[in-house]
Amino acid sequence: MSRFMDRLKERVLILDGGMGTALMEYDLDLEKDFLGLENCSEILCDSRPDVVKDIHRSFYEAGSDAVETNTFGSNKLVLAEFDLTERTRELNRIATEQAREVADEFATDDWPRFVVGSMGPGTKLPSLAHIDYDTLEDSYAEQARGLIDGGVDVFLTETSQDPLQIKAAINGIRLAQREAGVDLPIISQVTIETVGTMLVGTEIQAAATILDAMDVDMMGMNCATGPAEMSEHVKWLGENWPKPFSVLPNAGLPMLVDGKTTYPLQPAEMADWVARFVEEDGVNLIGGCCGTTPEHMKALRDKIGFQAPKDRGDVKLEPALASLYNQVPFRQENAVMAIGERTNANGSKRFRELLNEEDWNGITRVAKDQVKEGSHTLDVCTAYVGRDEVRDMTEVISRFRGDVTIPLVIDSTETPVIETALKLYGGKALINSINFEEGEEKAATVLGYAKKYGAGVIALTIDEDGMAKEVDDKMRIARRLYDFAVNQHGLPAHDLMYDPLTFTVCTGNEEDRKHAINTLDAIEAIANEMPEVQIVLGLSNISFGLKPAARQVLNSVMLHHAQRRGLTAAIMHSSAILPKHKIDEEEYKVAEDLLFDRREEGYDPLHKFIELFKDKEAKGGPEKKKPETIEEVLKERIVDGDRDGIEEDLDKAMEKYEPLEIVNQHLLGGMKVVGELFGAGEMQLPFVLQAAETMKAAVAHLEQFMEKKEGEEKGTMVLATVKGDVHDIGKNLVDIILTNNGYNVVNIGIKQPCEAIIEAAEENNADVIGMSGLLVKSTVIMKDNLEEMRGRDIKTPVLLGGAALTRNFVEQDCSEAYGDGVVEYAKDAFAGLQLMDRLTGNAQPEQEEAE
């Protein structure tokens, strides 16, 4: 461990403020001082070392523990714009030596001072195809060489706007360190814009997942915003990032005053904010970015003194993959991680045809369709005889990385293809796959890529003797894979995803009858013995040889049992999986008999299963007897996600009921069944979403017949689905019911961060804030939001609603989190209306008595 990291454990360290802001205080001449190189601050290390050292000195005098080298733009690509490429290493060395000289002036045994090597984002973003990965990595490697030459203590990649750029910088640093035989810490700071993401659209959760896979020593945030706008993200890092982290805000959001950019946050006000980050969120390294001065750093030192960092306890980052945009946890709530299989040339005829036609737009549509169907990741394989796999993979990944919002699984048997894909992808991918069929050399190469580019790995239970079919063989190879990947090559256990292999049970051969049993037993054994790892199946293998209708049922039944035994992921066509309630009881029983080899004299489940499907085509489920009453028809439509022609049934129901009665008494009854099936693990998320879309269509049709109450609006609610949650049917129902009862509803949509909710509430002078979410993790986010609002001294009443909420959690935990503010539990949309009436003073006397 370095001296810097050791010191960081003992006390919160203060970095310096803005170099650019400090330089503006000097009357520097373009020709004399900048040598005619406008905006090239780095040349001042050569032309005006006195100015650079004076700035470093001013920050040390203010109480900073460390300063950044004047090398923000000193990589080869940026310096090329000034014809200084050949001086990259030299300028970085000189800059570091200058900072080192001043640091040594101030350093004592009790108070060491450090030099941090600043490495900015450059001017080209690889995820937007401005620059290729190899050129970028080489540029950063040369910069790192100079920083090492000068005696830097720690590297800082800062103001990063693209995860792929960060990967190139980190790997460039590591290359230079290997050459020099040193091992210095790496800090990676991302810039989250006012919209709540990095410039290319990356959320803080995805950025953390990617940086964790890159094994940086610290992550943090700097630039773009002031501390107020950072607060929600800082809180998330404090609760989820397991290593030290840093925060270097601007002195507020920039303002243009008399044609000059100014930053409004004064030293004392900024110190109050940053001290809160230290005391409440456990930040380890603080400082400032644009607009911050030595006075800001002195105010920080006066405010926090020399305190030790807060003990954040056992913080763990949720194991996950990430696209360029979003984090996707390996362990899905009440579901397996669905890996879409239709962008694989080996398994999809349509994909092969599009690939051969080079219809890249068509290929992208196939990917997007799988996202809509509920896939969590996409398996991408471009291996096709007669075609250039590297070229095709480059074309596909270059499109998918920006157009597909879910993570990718890079699927190839060729290591050059795998590395090509990883060099294009800024997210955290999954590599498919490694095994020991050809020994360990190839597996070692792939694991090296996983560590270098930050990826997980699928591992098949195959060794030099072939594919394991018996449980003991599967487990023997699984243990060997674990030792090889985790212990020998340093892959985190949670990034190792086993495929214990399954084979068809449909040949009729005696040796094939136990394949499903062996696979399920192996899944359970792996889950018990190695609980941190993930487990995946290529689901359709189990039914190979059957008709499509029979395969659909057998695959669905196999998935149901595998999930209960410990399966965490499946390569499958999500829309071709049936939930248990949609499978005919006899078909389900015979499928189980086939999987578990329950043969009896005179009864072979394989023969019986084939007979059941001899005249059937694959559909959305068995034919059901249509309900006799319109009430049951509507309920069943919601459960089955059947929206075709629903308007006619709704019109028929309105002959008997008012529109709001239909919603409240019949449609919501169907959604309640959906919730119960989802909670029991008997309905996959795609079917929940289908039900929600049907509900949405029904309510949209009924809304036009709902009579909005006339008169002045009775109050305003700002309504949102919380961050990380895409479910909006409950929220939209609240919107409709409140709007039709005289309220103004500002519905700001799904996945809304706390800051957006607060801003909307303030802009619209909200009487009440409504937060909604379906997932269990959404309840935690609601509580976090309330704590953040309490810290901002907001006291607007809040209504919370969602399937995973309980009255006890809201009235105890959430109420405590909000302090003096009012928090209420709305068990459904109509309860929300009653609460809204009460909170705005519009409740009728009989309502008050009833409550």
Binding-site entries: 223, 289-290, 724-728, 772, 829
Backbone angle region of 145, left / alpha / beta, with phi > 0 → left and psi within -120 to 50 → alpha: alpha
The structure tokens listed for 776 are: 């269990």
Please name the amino acid found at residue 633. V
Cα separation, 187 vs 156, in Å, equals 5
Query: Measured in whole angstroms, how far is the alpha carbon of residue 838 from the centre of its chain?
Result: 38
Of 316, 311, 313, 221, nearest in space to 274 by CA: 221
Angle 615-616-619 from CA coordinates, rounded to 5°: 170
**Contacts with 273 (C-beta within 8 Å, 6 or more apart), sequence order:** 226, 227, 228, 231, 249, 265
How is residue 247 annotated by DSSP?
E
**Contacts with 9 (C-beta within 8 Å, 6 or more apart), sequence order:** 309
Angle 670-676-679 from CA coordinates, rounded to 5°: 140
Query: Measured in whole angstroms, how far is the alpha carbon of residue 607 from the centre of its chain?
Result: 46
Number of H helices, E strands in the chain: 34, 27
How is residue 722 annotated by DSSP?
B
User: Which residues are annotated binding-site positions for Zn(2+)?
Assistant: 223, 289-290
**Contacts with 751 (C-beta within 8 Å, 6 or more apart), sequence order:** 721, 722, 723, 724, 725, 726
User: Which residues are annotated binding-site positions for methylcob(III)alamin?
Assistant: 724-728, 772, 829
3-class DSSP state for residue 90? helix
How does 392-419 read in b/e, with b if 16+ C-beta sit within 10 Å?
bbbbbbbebbbebebbbbbbbeeeebbb
Query: Measured in whole angstroms, how far is the alpha carbon of residue 522 from the centre of its chain?
Result: 30
Of 840, 845, 850, 778, nearest in space to 814 by CA: 778
Helix-, strand-, coil-residue percentages of the chain, each rounded to 5: 50, 15, 35
Peptide bond into 41 cis (omega under 30): no
The structure tokens listed for 342 are: 């239709």
Of 639, 765, 743, nearest in space to 698 by CA: 639
Q: What are phi and psi of 591, to 5 degrees?
A: -60, -45
Cα separation, 349 vs 343, in Å, equals 10
Of 113, 65, 104, nearest in space to 306 by CA: 65
The structure tokens listed for 457 are: 């790995």
Of 92, 194, 193, 190, nearest in space to 147 by CA: 92
